[in-house]
Amino acid sequence: MPAPRSLAEDLRTRSDDELAALVRARPDLIHPVPADVATLAQRAGSAPSVAAALLDLDLVELHVVLAAALGPDSSSAGDLARRVAQPGSSLTLRTHARRAVTRLRERALLWGSDRALHLVGACRDQVVPPDRGPMVAALDPVVAGYARDPASLVQLLAGAPPGVQGAVDLLLPGPVVGTVGNARRQPDPTRSPVDWLFAHHLLLPLGSDRAVLPGEVVALLRAAAAGTTPQPLAVPQLDPPAPVAPAPDPTRVEAGAAGAALEVLHAAAEVGLLWGERPPTRLRTGGIAQRDLTAAARATGTSEALLALVVEVALAAGLLAPDTHESAAVLPTTAFDSWLAAPPAHRHADLLLAWRDMPRAVAGPAGRPTATGLAASHLPALRRLVLATLAGSPGAWQDDEVVAAVAWWAPRRAEPTRGEQVRGILRELRALGVLVAGTLTRAGHALLADDRPAAEEALAATLPPQVDALVLQGDLTAVVPGLPSPALATFMRVVADTESRGAASVYRFSPDRIRRALAAGWTPAALQAELARRGTVPQPLAYLIDDLGRQQATLRIGAVSTYLRCDDPVVLAAIVADPAATSLGLVAISDTVLVSALPAEDVLERLHRLGHAPQPEGGMAAAHEGPRRVRSRSAEPAAPQVSAALAAAAVRAMRATDRGSPPASRPPGSGSSGASPGGAHPVPLTGPAEVVAALRAAIATQSPVWIGYADPTGVAGDRRVEPLRIAGGYLTALDLRSEQVQSFALARVTGVQPG
């Protein structure tokens, strides 16, 4: 097969799987989906796309790009790797350099054959800054010597032939790139000042007709020109970083993770239950008031730092959310109850995945959880990078080693605060039970691989089993020999104080707690029966419950949410006597007033069904007693994610155009898709919730469906599509008639039917 003559030809020769891997590695290439492979190549070679791709390259890969930029117009794969991993380099570096060339080809930054690889033009401009030149000390031993010993460079120039200093002075202010005829000639130091500069590596060839000053030379000479003594420069070490300390015993790592995981699960459950009863106040800046955070930390028995982490993760997981009716409050969502009833491994996996992908930072000591200023869209990528660093080399990583390694793996993403951000991520990993003794747990490796089943399996092997039993002791304490079930945890939260948590939790009964249980509606007999169902009740605890029960026998209190008032006692008596109204729990407190613990809207709806039409009292507002919930909500991903199905569909659409013009594409909703003209496949109307549920199910199973779709003019039609993604109120799908990836507004999808 002849060597490709352009990037477009190179991409056309790639398999569908290789193109799909390319667009998954560089998501910007298919937003929107290119019309054909030629358009894909044009986009892949554009400066913005290349700049985004370079952000994900490690130090060796960037030096391969630099070697290609400073080398001939075409180089073999082996030659490029040898320029970076020079003779005497470690086997690890030589292996990594070869892999770097392969990865750059996969990402379409290098194209061509093994014997003639070409660098995408925009890459050269990105890695050779015209104002300061490229940093080449890791590739050029002579320049590395200048970097380590600036005095040798100053002395060399002091003894240079006439004209050399003038040539340097001409380039030094910038731009440091100049035009030179036959830049790749064999230099003769006696021929001209430019040849002398080439011979001493103070100028490097850039293509066939340009030359550039190395960045290290520019930095040292500019310092000397400013009248300061040039200081030695660090020469990058290209060997991949690894921890110094050996890895600890894996059993110690997994066992150490259990305690932290239990602490997080307890804190998440407790704060949800607590805020369902007493929601915290949100400030105008969006953060939670300090007094509420402190009170919640005290009530849950955890630190404010851990509580701030748990609150942010719970918000990202959709377990907590701002109240839609009262913007100043944060409440558990309807998803919190189902999460609370799930197995511990499932619950912890939910939290870990939400933490990994949440586009927000965790509030520090001076911050407030949920504050708007904590938004940080780059954090999901940085968290994955930290996980990949910890998983990349076995050993016990120190925090400083991880910071240095992250700088090695993503040097172009450097920013002044990244070191502190990495240390914060490491603290969060330790708090979540994913990092123990500097080593990732099995769940941490699964989190990096996006393998939820493996994560749950690892967590299930680590966490103790759920139990619904108590070991009641004579000193008014109780031991839960494992992780308490949701029902037991809720019960113990009312009747006892938590003394310690872990693989076994210890609770203590006190008069105040027993009084609270009795005030919540428990009778002494019912309370003792509930305890006896889970263990043997000792005499001291039974006497305490009976004594407090007798003290409170003369006073009763109850919660009322709604009342009914009527001047005619006969009407109220008829409602109480009606069997259909029994579920309302109506209690007569006088001939003309009934009360119920149910919310007013529930009572009103039921009375309407019974044929009554109550009128609201002036200024009436239903009280909300007991746990409150808001509708479940989930955050959008921080950055566009390209699934395997979306990548395959995009490649299929581009291939269809390359094979020949596809059928004329009509706008969504203009007719049937894969059916006879005129929309001969009518799709029944369904509600918005059913539409989204059906589309998500089709995405999960990668199944085609028929959708009804109304165009902007209101004309409805049907389309046969393969749903790929739902985000931002739009469905991205492959139209099976035109074989084009299109976006459909969810608000205009009138129905979904399997197809």
**pLDDT tens per residue, range 339-396:** 988 888 999 999 999 999 999 898 877 667 878 788 888 899 999 999 999 998 889 9
Alpha-carbon distance of 111 to 116, in angstroms, equals 8
- Predicted confidence at residue 634, as pLDDT, reads 47
User: DSSP code of 578?
Assistant: -
Proportion of the chain in helix, strand, coil states, percent, rounded to 5: 50, 15, 40
722 beta partners: 734
Query: What is the bridge-based pairing of β-strands 471-472 and 177-179?
Result: unpaired
Query: pLDDT at residue 614 above 80?
Result: no
Q: Return the number of other C-beta atoms located less than 10 Å from residue 379's C-beta.
A: 22
pLDDT at site 669: 39
Output the CA angle 495-500-502, nearest 5 degrees: 115
Over 50: is that where the pLDDT of 624 sits? no
Is the CA virtual torsion 689, 691, 696, 701 positive or negative?
positive
Q: Which residue has the tokens 């004209």?
A: 163
H or E stretch covering 51: helix 47-54
Residue 678 has pLDDT above 80, yes or no: no
The tokens for 65 are 């790009």
Q: What average pLDDT does the segment 246-273 reach? A: 88
Q: How confident is the model at residue 660 (pLDDT cuts 50, 70, 90)?
A: low
For 176-197, b/e burial (b = at least 16 CB within 10 A) is bbbebeebbeebeeeeebbbbb
DSSP states along 378-445: THHHHHHHHHHHHHHS-SB--HHHHHHHHHHH-GGG--TTHHHHHHHHHHHHHHTTSEETTEE-HHHH
Q: What are the strands, taking DSSP E only, across 27-166? A: 110-113, 116-119
Is 471 a residue whose pLDDT tops 50?
yes
* pLDDT higher than threshold 90 for residue 97: yes
Distance CA 332, CA 242 (A): 42
The arithmetic mean of pLDDT across residues 11-22, rounded, is 92
Return d(Cα 41, Cα 37) in angstroms, integer.
Answer: 6
Q: Following DSSP, what letter does each residue of 238-264 receive, concatenated?
A: -SPP--SBPP--HHHHHHHHHHHHHHH
Residues 292 and 294: their CA atoms lie apart, in Å, by: 5
- Specify the pairing of strand 740-745 against strand 730-735: antiparallel
Quickly tell me which residue has 């607590």 as its tokens.
274
Q: What is the pLDDT of residue 293?
A: 87
Q: What is the per-residue pLDDT across 139-188, written as a single tens digit (0 to 9) for each?
A: 999 999 999 999 999 889 888 888 888 888 888 888 988 888 888 888 88
Q: How many CA atoms lie within 13 A of 689 on its CB side?
A: 1
Mean pLDDT of the chain: 84
Q: What is the pLDDT of residue 428?
A: 95
DSSP state of 374: G
Kindly indicate the confidence band of residue 556, based on its pLDDT and cuts at 50, 70 and 90: low
More confident residue, 164 or 324: 164
Predicted confidence band at 553 (pLDDT cuts at 50, 70, 90)? low
- Interatomic CA distance for residues 235 and 63, integer angstroms: 13
- The C-alpha atoms of residue 203 and residue 243 are separated, in whole angstroms, by 37
The secondary structure element, H or E, covering residue 593 is strand 593-596
**The pLDDT of residue 620 is above 90:** no
Residue 573 has pLDDT above 90, yes or no: no
Higher pLDDT, 518 or 261: 261
Per-residue confidence band for 401, with pLDDT thresholds at 50, 70 and 90: very high
Stated pTM of the model = 0.75
pLDDT of residue 100: 95
pLDDT of residue 675: 42
Q: What is the pLDDT of residue 189?
A: 82
The average pLDDT across 443-448 equals: 93
CB proximity list for 537: less than 8 A, separation 6 or greater: 472, 528, 531
Q: In this structure, are strands 730-735 and 204-206 parallel, antiparallel, or unpaired?
A: unpaired
- pLDDT at 558 > cutoff 80: no
The radius of gyration of the chain's CA atoms, rounded to the nearest angstrom, is 34
Give CA separation, 239 vs 87, 408, 414, 438, in Å.
14, 9, 19, 21
At 220-230, the pLDDT tens digits run: 999 988 888 88
User: In which band, very low, low, confident or very high, does the pLDDT at 207 lie, cut at 50, 70 and 90?
Assistant: confident
Q: What pLDDT shows up at residue 659? A: 67
Which residues are CB-contacts of 19 (< 8 A; sequence separation ≥ 6)? 11, 37, 40, 651, 654
Helices 150-158 and 141-148: crossing angle, nearest 10°?
100
SS3 542: helix
362's enclosing H/E stretch is none
641 pLDDT tier (thresholds 50, 70, 90) = low
Coil, strand or helix at 46: coil
Q: 233: alpha, beta or left, given left = phi > 0 and alpha = psi -120 to 50?
A: beta
| 705-710/716-727 β-pairing | antiparallel
pLDDT at 673 over 80: no
Residues in the chain: 755
Q: What whole-number distance in Å separates Cα of residue 53 and Cα of residue 106?
A: 12
Question: What's the whole-number mean pLDDT along residues 289-301?
Answer: 85
CA–CA separation, 140 and 445 (whole Å) = 38
Rounded distance between C-alpha atoms, residue 480 and residue 469, angstroms: 7
Task: Give me the pLDDT at residue 454, please.
Answer: 93
d(CA 8, CA 45) in angstroms, rounded, equals 10
As a whole number, mean pLDDT of residues 703-726 equals: 82
Residue 62's pLDDT is 94
According to the per-residue pLDDT averaged within each range, which of 400-409, 519-528, 637-646 is highest?
400-409
User: How far is it, in rounded angstroms, from Cα 93 to Cα 706?
Assistant: 53
pLDDT recorded at residue 753: 86
Q: Is it the case that residue 554 has pLDDT exceeding 60?
A: no
Sequence-ordered list of residues with C-beta below 8 angstroms from that of 361, at least 6 positions apart, any chain: 374, 375, 376, 379, 421, 424
SS3 582: helix
Q: Is it the case that residue 672 has pLDDT exceeding 60? A: no
pLDDT reported for residue 300: 81
Structure confidence at residue 111 (pLDDT)? 93
d(Cα 119, Cα 111) in Å, to the nearest integer?
Answer: 7
Give the percent of the chain with pLDDT over 90: 31
